[in-house]
Structure 1
Amino acid sequence: MAPKLLLGLLAPILSLRMSKAKEDAPATRFNAPGDFIIGGMFAFHSKVQYLTVDGKPQFPACYSFYLIGYLQHLAMRFAIEEINNSTSLLPGIRLGYEVHDTCNNEAVATKAALAFLSRDPENDNAAQCDYANAKPRVIAVVGPSSSSLSMLVTRILNFLSIPELPIFFQVSFGSSSSYLSDRQTFPSFFRTIPSDSRQADAIVQLLSKFNWNWVAALATDNLYGRQALEIFTQEALLKDICVAYEAILPDGLNPSEQNAKLIDIADRLENSHINATVVFASPEDAEALLRAVVATRITRRVWIASECWSASPSVALIPGISNIGTLFGIAIKSGAMPGFAEYVQNLLAQPRPGRTTEEEVNEQCPECGSLTYANFSRAIQNSRFYTMFNAYKAVYAIGHALHQLLHCDTASRTCDADREVYPWQLLEEIARVNFTVESEPVYFTETGDPPTGYDLILWDWIPPKNHTFGIVGSYDALERQLTVNESKIKWNTEDGKLPVSRCTQECKPGQKRWLRGEHNCCYECEDCPAGSFQDQAHPTECTPCPQHQWSPAQSTKCFNRAVEYLEVTDLLATIMVALTGLTLAQMAAVTGMLLRHHASPAVRYMGRFPASTVVLSSACCCTSCFLFVTKPTDTICKLRQPIFFGSFAVCLAALLGTAVRRSGLEQTLKRRWLRKHHMGFSILLNTAVQGLLCLLWYYWNPPFLEENTELDKILLLQCEDSAFPGFTALLAHVYCLALFCCFCSLVGQGGNRMDRRATKAINFAVVLILIIWTLFVPAYVTSQGKFVALFQIFAGLASILAIFGSCYYPVCYVVLFAPHLNTDDYFSCLPQDPPADKEKPSAAEAKG
């Protein structure tokens, strides 16, 4: 009872008088009988006026005739007439129609929707309580074109339905709101145009195509405009497009206030230096906006029209509109309707019966009685850019669903005309239709949306007052891909070139960008430093190159480094190897000379053990130098420093033992065995210290093969063996050993003249060693590259040559060139290595 009571309460306000077919001429005939009636809701007028009579509010009065809405209703009637004349679709079945004007107004549309619920066309308020088992007068509704009206109508048509079983369904030819794709809320809504989400995606792709990321967005103040603006803003953000300015076009104001608001919006567009503007608006709002734009003298901009006004003839005829710039339109894909122009022409040419003034005022469309074909000729020529074809398809979708429900047989040209048909049954069938009309596929997805896409059209004005709409691209709704034929685009700019609409020009390749303000489209460009590159996937940062690659500044890619290491073929390495060979050769020559003259006083004076130790350790040290001029490996890196410093430490330990002996400091040693074997003890102790330091080094931070990338374009293979504290400890040990040797040679007092000469020679050699290694440290630390290791080789060779030059070359000179000095008296030589603790003979023994 509640629904019936609600209709009863609405009856005084929402009464509707049906026009009788026999009284109407074809041009003003808005209903026709048939076996099945299809309801139609079209906007014959675009505005309403609220009046009062004797202080009582009246029902809204419609005015401002809307030519396109009237043509859309004619497309519905044309499709019904084609189906009625068809022998393959619904043979033997006649479709009727009942059309109402919505005036784009909620109250007027509600009145029409309630009329469809009535059982009796003469009594609008005869509602039914159970529509699940009733046969309403209207089986389906085509329209309305407005999204907000569609939401209202679909709720009214189904508010008496069982929740799980919607009764009435509607097929809209112009409602694009994404909300209508929600099947939980609108289970019986279908449409033949794509949703706003597809339109927003097409516009965003167009902006991205021409690199426009600094845009404005304007929208009508209704559900369509606000939702379209919201979806577009979200899609634009995902593509790094900044909506720098957005506004809602004023509505419901008096003409002067509305014009002032529009002038303010136009001024803001002018001052913002935005060259691309997207407008989601009704044709009336778009016309008012662009009149303000023309008055503000905004020129040479890019305007993108939503499907609602993408080919509006009233907008195209605004005086001076050709100066505003380049105008693109997102027009719903359409198709041909062969014979439609002739149908309209014949319809309007038929005679009209006379009307009384009262009857004329009460008609849905008072202006329709005086229409001629000339009023529609231009619109019919551009019909592919309007939604007439989509209204045409909507009727055919209902016809095919009814064809299946009635089990029509095309071959026998019969249908089950006696079958009881309920709207909920037809709803099930329309969800499964799949056919082609004029080469255009017609079916509905699970959300009630069609596979229809868009045409990208370009406005072209032909002086003085003519215009054309050319197709320059298309949008595939299934693939979600926009295709643009740039060769067909004529830019309305001063130089005829592509206009720019960016807050900041594109960064050059190899530059990163960082935000300059609150918009992600406003940024500064900065060159990527050397060693990094700019990845297109991450434009706001510079990506470091991998370790084995390099790059110059402002680079978009990395290059492989040239692998280098110190090898014997390098010039400096070759020179150092040659010096090492000469050093070994001179050691071999000295060793040969000492062996040949081992019995001479000069050679015996040197001592066999210390001399052989120095020679062997020096040779080992020189040999380790070859490990520095070959391709490094992990094993080589772990071996070369211990061998080098170990052998060098043995050499210095032997030299220290000699210095202690020649300086007489051995006599200060308290223990006899220590005085006797101090040479071996010195070598053993220092060798043990070196070994212990190596073990600690390997435990703490062992040497390893390093890929050094500090040099440009080069991947240097080198041993990282100079890290603190291992390398430093070994170097410090040999340095201290040399320093102690120098100290012993200075403070000790030799037993005779030759001992003092020997200590002086050792002192001189050690001082040279200290100088060499003191200079080595800063040179080694501050240098880089593959030749750094040559500093250590040179220091080692120079130290060995200092030892041999100071201690052994004089002896060789005596043996080879001064034999008259090679006597026991000259060297005061005792037998080789006399015991250090031998006691002097007593006076009695001496006398005896």
Structure 2
Amino acid sequence: MAPKLLLGLLAPILSLRMSKAKEDAPATRFNAPGDFIIGGMFAFHSKVQYLTVDGKPQFPACYSFYLIGYLQHLAMRFAIEEINNSTSLLPGIQLGYEVHDTCNNEAVATKAALAFLSRDPENDNAAQCDYANAKPRVIAVVGPSSSSLSMLVTRILNFLSIPEVSFGSSSSYLSDRQTFPSFFRTIPSDSCQADAIVQLLNKFNWNWVAALATDNLYGRQALEIFTQEALLKDICVAYEAILPDGLNPSEQNAKLIDIADRLENSHINATVVFASPEEAEALLRAVVATRITRRVWIASECWSASPGVALIPGISNIGTLFGIAIKSGAMPGFAEYVQNLLAQPQPGRTTEEEEVNEQCPECGSLTYANFSRAIQNSRFYTMFNAYKAVYAIGHALHQLLHCDTASRTCDADREVYPWQLLEEIARVNFTVESEPVYFTETGDPPTGYDLILWDWIPPKNHTFGIVGSYDALERQLTVNESKIKWNTEDGKLPVSRCTQECKPGQKRWLRGEHNCCYECEDCPAGSFQDQAHPTECTPCPQHQWSPAQSTKCFNRAVEYLEVTDLLATIMVALTGLALAQMAAVTGVLLRHHASPAIRYVGRFPASAVILSSACCCTSCFLFVTKPTDTICKLRQPIFFGSFAVCLAALLGTAVRRSGLEQTLKRRWLRKHHMGFSILLNTAVQGLLCLLWYYWNPPFLEENTELDKILLLQCEDSAFPGFTALLAHVYCLALFCCFCSLVGQGGNQMDRRATKAINFAVVLILIIWTLFLPAYVTSQGKFVALFQIFAGLASILAIFGSCYYPVCYVVLFAPHLNTDDYFSCLPQDPPADKEKPSAAEAKG
């Protein structure tokens, strides 16, 4: 109800004003009768002049003939003629047209739009307000090409749901179906154009650009969308300017010269211009006058192939010029149609052509020569899109009239209302000259862009070559770089950046307010520069490494101490020798177990030392195999536990040989102090291991401290576990040394035995004292060999001091292997001194 009411209120007012305007300055109009009339709105003129007569304002007078607008209207008439002559599309139906000149002006366009609402051609202001049953004199409107005019016109036409199909309006606002439900277009929206330009800038790494726009809805919105898209892609619009409009020629030229000077001083090599052909021509004339050369210019679809700009003297010196041209197609027969239409009147010429309304003064003097160059480059203009717009209306009407191609009939008597045609246009899907035609839910087409390159041929000729394309559905720009000829001094790709691009493996430090101005810094070793995060260096995962200034990480070489390593092989060999000498000593002890020498060392302590030493040596093999979590938890307790048993057995021997056992008050303790020492120290080791496992248990570690290497090692040397076990055996050795020093042996052999034990323990203390700093300060997989070496050296010290001499006596000095020489045998402990021996009692 609101649109009808509003139109009803406006109709009387507009009737008075428009009727007066019609008398004063009628707009250019072309008519042709038909069963259904299609309205057309084209800019035959690009400017208007506001005049007054006797102080009264007059309707705007149009001037500045616009050749392309006239050609676009011819494309519409050509399409209508093809459809009228077709037997497959709307057979038997004749389409007519009513074309108005918009003069690129809101007032002129409003008059034409209101005229379309009327049913009576003789009364433009007889507006109808019946929404459902209204039958205006046009069923649909093609045009206009300006977004601002389309927004105005479609609001007026929407009163009666008259569909409007524009061939040149690209504003993204027009995709709003709530506001513009009856609007369709055959060109992509400005959002697609902005995306195509941003992809082009990204393609050639131009991120320091200028953007200029015309001072109207099209220019300001295109500039806004482009700036937003550029910001998302890290492209800095370092300079923005609105091209002057509505000024006198001298003021406008001064403003344009100022803009050109700013471009010259900014050192920006890439400039995007959203403007009409006239404004672009005025701008580039100022650029040529300022002597700006060898730059890159990107033209919006409005002037992407403007002949007026191409013919500016000296235009070829400004640099490389790309155009974002709407994808087009061929119109076979169009050139011949225009040539015949513009020929001199001849007998047999159609009534339509004879009676064309020639209210356009320039239209009557046009010849084919005026259009020849434009027609040759028609694929780069919007003629084909006006052509497609007519076909879209024709196909929708074909469906609405239930036309049968086989019988070549249509339901010509059916009442057709604009709202019905509006619904059918939204559903059309066909192909014209291999170009698909349909509309999305927002009224937009699948049409993309051609990327064209301007090429000037001396002295005043030019060509437009296609060097790429943009797919509007996929939102993807493809560029054929081999076809691009850079208009620079060296013929190479120009650079337009605030700072040079960082090298691979460098991160950016932003400098200043623009994110395109930055300094570069190498990423340190162990990190890499990810293209998705240019301002930071991403650390490599633990299992990977990287050198400085790297763009990726590399897998570390996994290493661990293996038997096949040279040093590990040597240690394994030494361990085998140690086990072999233990076996030899054990064989000697077993073979001569009844001899005085063997009875002197004692079977139990010797067995304890040999077994614990063998267990300690065997645990060394756990250090030269691939570590696992289980191995890491077992190897240190086994090593230190068996080594502690060995030292505990030495301690018991030292206590007996030094006579300190006599200081023990309890008899059972004096008799079993050897076993008690072993059990006690074994229990202490077990308790320390339990506390270690509870506090900070050993685990398998992936050590990455070494470059390029992932070292698998056991983290079993950390405080307090490893330290406690080592401290215990170290204290045990010290106590053993103390006992062997302070005690007084019963005879010479006992004193020799304590000296041997003392010598072995001193060697052990020296070995482990040297071991500790070397172990703590070293890195790498061979660190564990220090512990193996210390253990083997300690065992060899014990055997060398305590058992090798006895074996020597048994094997090589049998004359010393007598009871007299070994006067005190450990398996027969002496009786308490308070009680006389049996021999004394008998005597």
Taking only the aligned residue pairs, the percentage that are identical comes to 98
Aligned-pair distance for 1:493? 0.9
Asked whether the equivalents of residues 473 and 485 of structure 1 are also in contact (C-alpha less than 8 Å), the reply is yes
Quickly say closer, same or farther: Cα 1:399–1:568, change in 2 above 3 A.
Answer: closer
Q: Which residue, out of 223, 231, 249, partners 2:225?
A: 231
Counterpart of 2:792 in 1: which secondary structure? helix
Aligned-pair distance for 1:778? 1.0
Q: Tell me whether 408-417 or 122-131 shows the greater mean CA deviation.
A: 408-417
Asked whether the equivalents of residues 175 and 442 of structure 2 are also in contact (C-alpha less than 8 Å), the reply is yes
Aligned-pair distance for 1:218? 1.9
Task: Indicate the residue corresponding to 1:809 in structure 2.
Answer: 804
> 2: CA distance between counterparts of 1:388 and 1:482?
23
> 2: CA distance between counterparts of 1:354 and 1:762?
138
Aligned-pair distance for 1:17? 11
Asked whether the equivalents of residues 530 and 538 of structure 2 are also in contact (C-alpha less than 8 Å), the reply is yes
Task: Indicate the residue corresponding to 1:167 in structure 2.
Answer: none
> 1: CA distance between counterparts of 2:20 and 2:288?
46
> 1: CA distance between counterparts of 2:829 and 2:548?
73
> Once the two structures are superposed, what CA deviation does each residue of 1:750-791 show, in whole Å capped at 9, x if it has no partner?
334433333233222212111111111111111122222211
> 2: CA distance between counterparts of 1:844 and 1:578?
54
Task: Indicate the residue corresponding to 1:175 in structure 2.
Answer: 169
> 1: CA distance between counterparts of 2:673 and 2:415?
127
> 1: CA distance between counterparts of 2:33 and 2:20?
10
Quickly say closer, same or farther: Cα 1:842–1:714, change in 2 above 3 A.
Answer: closer
Q: Tell me whether 435-444 or 185-194 shows the greater mean CA deviation.
A: 435-444
> 2: CA distance between counterparts of 1:62 and 1:108?
9
Aligned-pair distance for 1:605? 3.6
Quickly say closer, same or farther: Cα 1:225–1:764, change in 2 above 3 A.
Answer: same
Quickly say closer, same or farther: Cα 1:226–1:355, change in 2 above 3 A.
Answer: farther
Aligned-pair distance for 1:540? 4.4
Q: Tell me whether 745-754 or 770-779 shows the greater mean CA deviation.
A: 745-754
Asked whether the equivalents of residues 335 and 389 of structure 1 are also in contact (C-alpha less than 8 Å), the reply is yes
Quickly say closer, same or farther: Cα 1:616–1:96, change in 2 above 3 A.
Answer: closer
Aligned-pair distance for 1:393? 2.3
> Once the two structures are superposed, what CA deviation does each residue of 1:380-434 show, in whole Å capped at 9, x if it has no partner?
2222221122222222322333333334444555444333322222222322333
Asked whether the equivalents of residues 28 and 369 of structure 1 are also in contact (C-alpha less than 8 Å), the reply is no
Quickly say closer, same or farther: Cα 1:16–1:481, change in 2 above 3 A.
Answer: farther
Q: Tell me whether 274-283 or 579-588 shows the greater mean CA deviation.
A: 579-588
Quickly say closer, same or farther: Cα 1:768–1:371, change in 2 above 3 A.
Answer: same
> 1: CA distance between counterparts of 2:582 and 2:433?
105
Aligned-pair distance for 1:740? 1.2
> 1: CA distance between counterparts of 2:550 and 2:282?
50
> 2: CA distance between counterparts of 1:496 and 1:809?
90
Aligned-pair distance for 1:631? 3.2
Counterpart of 1:17 in 2: which secondary structure? helix
Task: Indicate the residue corresponding to 1:836 in structure 2.
Answer: 831
Asked whether the equivalents of residues 27 and 108 of structure 2 are also in contact (C-alpha less than 8 Å), the reply is no
Aligned-pair distance for 1:291? 1.7
Asked whether the equivalents of residues 21 and 31 of structure 1 are also in contact (C-alpha less than 8 Å), the reply is no
Aligned-pair distance for 1:345? 3.3
Asked whether the equivalents of residues 47 and 103 of structure 1 are also in contact (C-alpha less than 8 Å), the reply is yes
User: Where does 1:434-583 land on structure 2 (aligned, <5 Å)?
Assistant: 434-583=429-578
Quickly say closer, same or farther: Cα 1:745–1:179, change in 2 above 3 A.
Answer: same
Asked whether the equivalents of residues 16 and 124 of structure 1 are also in contact (C-alpha less than 8 Å), the reply is no
Asked whether the equivalents of residues 599 and 827 of structure 2 are also in contact (C-alpha less than 8 Å), the reply is yes
Quickly say closer, same or farther: Cα 1:234–1:749, change in 2 above 3 A.
Answer: same
Asked whether the equivalents of residues 550 and 559 of structure 1 are also in contact (C-alpha less than 8 Å), the reply is yes
Aligned-pair distance for 1:654? 1.5
Aligned-pair distance for 1:214? 2.8
Asked whether the equivalents of residues 407 and 415 of structure 1 are also in contact (C-alpha less than 8 Å), the reply is yes
> 2: CA distance between counterparts of 1:49 and 1:616?
117
> 2: CA distance between counterparts of 1:361 and 1:260?
42
Asked whether the equivalents of residues 633 and 698 of structure 2 are also in contact (C-alpha less than 8 Å), the reply is yes
Quickly say closer, same or farther: Cα 1:140–1:770, change in 2 above 3 A.
Answer: same
Counterpart of 1:556 in 2: which secondary structure? coil
1:341 aligns with 2:335: yes
CA RMSD of aligned residues (A): 4.2
Gaps of 5+ in 1: 165-170
Counterpart of 1:266 in 2: which secondary structure? helix
> Once the two structures are superposed, what CA deviation does each residue of 1:612-661 show, in whole Å capped at 9, x if it has no partner?
32233222222322332333344333332222211211111121122222
Q: Tell me whether 146-155 or 632-641 shows the greater mean CA deviation.
A: 632-641
Gaps of 5+ in 2: none
> 1: CA distance between counterparts of 2:79 and 2:499?
52
Aligned-pair distance for 1:143? 0.9
> Once the two structures are superposed, what CA deviation does each residue of 1:706-736 show, in whole Å capped at 9, x if it has no partner?
3333333333333332222221111111001
Aligned-pair distance for 1:148? 0.9
Aligned-pair distance for 1:307? 0.8
Aligned-pair distance for 1:747? 2.5
Counterpart of 2:22 in 1: which secondary structure? helix
Counterpart of 2:521 in 1: which secondary structure? strand
Asked whether the equivalents of residues 147 and 177 of structure 1 are also in contact (C-alpha less than 8 Å), the reply is yes
> 2: CA distance between counterparts of 1:795 and 1:687?
20
Aligned-pair distance for 1:512? 4.1
Asked whether the equivalents of residues 163 and 422 of structure 2 are also in contact (C-alpha less than 8 Å), the reply is no
> 2: CA distance between counterparts of 1:315 and 1:16?
42
Quickly say closer, same or farther: Cα 1:812–1:26, change in 2 above 3 A.
Answer: same
Aligned-pair distance for 1:526? 3.9
Asked whether the equivalents of residues 528 and 554 of structure 1 are also in contact (C-alpha less than 8 Å), the reply is yes
Quickly say closer, same or farther: Cα 1:653–1:315, change in 2 above 3 A.
Answer: same
Q: Tell me whether 295-304 or 562-571 shows the greater mean CA deviation.
A: 562-571
Counterpart of 1:243 in 2: which secondary structure? strand
> For this pair of structures, how many residues does the alignment match?
842
Aligned-pair distance for 1:113? 1.2
Quickly say closer, same or farther: Cα 1:11–1:640, change in 2 above 3 A.
Answer: closer
TM (norm. structure 2) is 0.90
Quickly say closer, same or farther: Cα 1:585–1:439, change in 2 above 3 A.
Answer: closer
> 2: CA distance between counterparts of 1:414 and 1:25?
43
Task: Indicate the residue corresponding to 2:347 in structure 1.
Answer: 353
> 1: CA distance between counterparts of 2:594 and 2:310?
123
Quickly say closer, same or farther: Cα 1:360–1:747, change in 2 above 3 A.
Answer: same
Aligned-pair distance for 1:321? 1.0
Asked whether the equivalents of residues 601 and 829 of structure 1 are also in contact (C-alpha less than 8 Å), the reply is no
> 2: CA distance between counterparts of 1:58 and 1:430?
38
Quickly say closer, same or farther: Cα 1:108–1:766, change in 2 above 3 A.
Answer: same
Quickly say closer, same or farther: Cα 1:82–1:21, change in 2 above 3 A.
Answer: farther
Quickly say closer, same or farther: Cα 1:354–1:61, change in 2 above 3 A.
Answer: farther
> Once the two structures are superposed, what CA deviation does each residue of 1:199-242 show, in whole Å capped at 9, x if it has no partner?
22322332233333332222212221122222223333444433
Counterpart of 1:14 in 2: which secondary structure? helix
1:614 aligns with 2:606: no
Aligned-pair distance for 1:314? 1.1
> 1: CA distance between counterparts of 2:363 and 2:595?
142
Asked whether the equivalents of residues 11 and 127 of structure 2 are also in contact (C-alpha less than 8 Å), the reply is no
Counterpart of 1:349 in 2: which secondary structure? coil
Asked whether the equivalents of residues 207 and 498 of structure 2 are also in contact (C-alpha less than 8 Å), the reply is yes
> Once the two structures are superposed, what CA deviation does each residue of 1:555-585 show, in whole Å capped at 9, x if it has no partner?
4444444433323332222222232233333
Aligned-pair distance for 1:312? 0.8
Asked whether the equivalents of residues 43 and 69 of structure 1 are also in contact (C-alpha less than 8 Å), the reply is yes
> 2: CA distance between counterparts of 1:334 and 1:842?
129
TM (norm. structure 1) is 0.90
Quickly say closer, same or farther: Cα 1:632–1:375, change in 2 above 3 A.
Answer: closer
Quickly say closer, same or farther: Cα 1:66–1:621, change in 2 above 3 A.
Answer: same
Quickly say closer, same or farther: Cα 1:28–1:631, change in 2 above 3 A.
Answer: closer
Task: Indicate the residue corresponding to 2:202 in structure 1.
Answer: 208
Aligned-pair distance for 1:737? 0.5
Aligned-pair distance for 1:325? 0.7
Task: Indicate the residue corresponding to 2:290 in structure 1.
Answer: 296
Q: Tell me whether 644-653 or 811-820 shows the greater mean CA deviation.
A: 811-820
> Once the two structures are superposed, what CA deviation does each residue of 1:310-365 show, in whole Å capped at 9, x if it has no partner?
11111111121111111111112223333333333343344699999999999752
> Once the two structures are superposed, what CA deviation does each residue of 1:687-718 show, in whole Å capped at 9, x if it has no partner?
11111112222333333333333333333333
Asked whether the equivalents of residues 27 and 347 of structure 1 are also in contact (C-alpha less than 8 Å), the reply is no
Aligned-pair distance for 1:738? 0.6
Asked whether the equivalents of residues 21 and 29 of structure 1 are also in contact (C-alpha less than 8 Å), the reply is no
Quickly say closer, same or farther: Cα 1:748–1:10, change in 2 above 3 A.
Answer: same
Q: Tell me whether 638-647 or 80-89 shows the greater mean CA deviation.
A: 80-89
Aligned-pair distance for 1:192? 1.8
Asked whether the equivalents of residues 269 and 295 of structure 2 are also in contact (C-alpha less than 8 Å), the reply is yes
Asked whether the equivalents of residues 523 and 537 of structure 2 are also in contact (C-alpha less than 8 Å), the reply is yes
Quickly say closer, same or farther: Cα 1:581–1:382, change in 2 above 3 A.
Answer: closer
Quickly say closer, same or farther: Cα 1:56–1:6, change in 2 above 3 A.
Answer: farther
Quickly say closer, same or farther: Cα 1:606–1:318, change in 2 above 3 A.
Answer: same
Counterpart of 1:62 in 2: which secondary structure? strand
Aligned-pair distance for 1:85? 4.0
Asked whether the equivalents of residues 37 and 95 of structure 1 are also in contact (C-alpha less than 8 Å), the reply is yes
Counterpart of 2:16 in 1: which secondary structure? coil
